[in-house]
Structure 1
């Protein structure tokens, strides 16, 4: 059932796609299953993460065209990050240690903590975000909308940017939605009771963007 979360098995950059290697054993077949779809979409496969490396897409985020953020945690390890940096050698790869949270059995991805809303705006849960990540956003002139504590575990921080300041979010995180709207963001919602809440995968997890607008 995790295969519906298409964000994790592959990462797409300027030159093409790199097949990742999920840190969850039952997902190891997912990257190869996407190859035919990538080829039909005209996206060349330019690399692959090999054992013992592991990388999941949820631990990666393109901050801009030249900057790739990567979370080092239970699903993405040092060997995988090294291979990823080599595959995207023309990018600045910045790595952050992720919090233990509830342990290895409960995934904590980098994108559990941050979602881009625009080139200069991001949705963030600051209480668990790495200090260096918050500092980097400030240094790059990226303002933040903060997710309240009571809406973190209901995936308030997981929204999908459909365009600049236009996002898709799960229903029910009303305070997070209000804060985004106050920052000038158009928020569209969906129920997600089955495909999101039961698998802990928000709208970002359900997609794999191929082109950056």
Structure 2
């Protein structure tokens, strides 16, 4: 059972987030705040102590706290984000985690972001992507003392936009990675192309959070026996963030 979640609400600078989403210009900041509150209350209802950090106006993407760290066991690898505008978000996260974990910072030229790292039962998979490089993966694996397999795709931002682990032997994925050999031993719930955003699910203490409005994907997970909680995160999708991005759960 997971015990805690670190979260941070969107800041007043949130509209300046890194995004090429076609609906970014329609972003509703007040709705984003409301969606974030609902997200936090859901985590609390699932039994987590929700550690709420204050917004950081200097970092428009700072509500996406997942990217700042990779956790395993009693250790934390503090990430080094690829985008200069995000470097610094990790500082306040480190301050919180040092009370719970042994800490190491990833150093240049390494880059790695939590949105690239899938936590399996006893190993990790990292994307080698636009945001995470080989040196970042090597430093992270060396510090955490865990095997990290690699899925390379320089065309994507984060691996967990396409693949998430929902427990047991099951992953949720789009067709993009369904044939990848590293995933061959897993049962797969394949998200339909028109609902690709729903591939980013968040599994927590027996429930699977799924973006609301993706009804076909929700039904697929229910049919597979999962307890599904739909959540509206439309204003985070417009900044190219998703459910896992909004918390650090441990």
TM-score (norm 2): 0.72
Cα distance per residue 1:43-67 (max 9 Å; x no partner): 1242111001000001111111x31
Structure 2 residue 204 is the aligned partner of structure 1 residue 162: yes
Which residue in 1 is equivalent to 2:194?
150
SS of 2:150 mapped into structure 1: strand
SS of residue matched to 1:34: helix
- In structure 1, distance between residues paired with 2:62 and 2:138: 25
> 1:130 offset after TM fit, Å?
6.3
> Partners of 2:138 and 2:237 in 1: how far apart?
32
Structure 2 unmatched runs, 5+: 1-59
* Cα distance in 1, alignment partners of residues 137 and 179 from structure 2: 17
Q: Residue deviations 1:119-155, cap 9 Å, x none?
A: 22211113345612332xx1xxx31111001111xx1
1:37 aligns with 2:92: no
8 Å Cα contact 1:117/1:123 also seen in 2? yes
Counterpart of 1:180 in 2: which secondary structure?
helix
Matches of 2:143 and 2:82, distance apart in 1: 18
The alpha carbon displacement at 1:24 in A equals 1.2
| 1:105-120 matches, cutoff 5 A | 107=157, 109-120=158-169
Task: Describe the SS at the equivalent of 2:210.
Answer: strand
Tell me the CA shift for residue 19 of structure 1. 0.4
Match of 1:104 in 2: none
Call closer, same or farther: CA 1:6–1:95 in 2, change over 3 Å: same
Question: What TM-score comes out, normalization by structure 1 length?
Answer: 0.84
Residue 92 of structure 1 pairs with residue 134 of structure 2: no
Equivalent-residue separation in structure 2 for 1:149 and 1:99 (angstroms): 20
CA contact (8 A) 2:126 2:159 kept: yes
Answer 1 or 2: which has greater helix percent: 2
1:48 equivalent in alignment to 2:105: yes
Cα deviation for residue 174 of structure 1 reads: 0.8
The 2-side partners of 1:88 and 1:44 are apart by 11
Question: Are positions 1:7 and 2:66 aligned together?
Answer: yes
- Say yes or no: does 1:173 pair with 2:232: no
Structure 2 equivalent of residue 81 of structure 1: 137
Judge which range, 175-184 or 12-21, deviates more: 12-21
Deviation at 1:160, TM superposition (A): 0.6
Look up the SS of the partner of 1:96 in the other structure.
Answer: strand
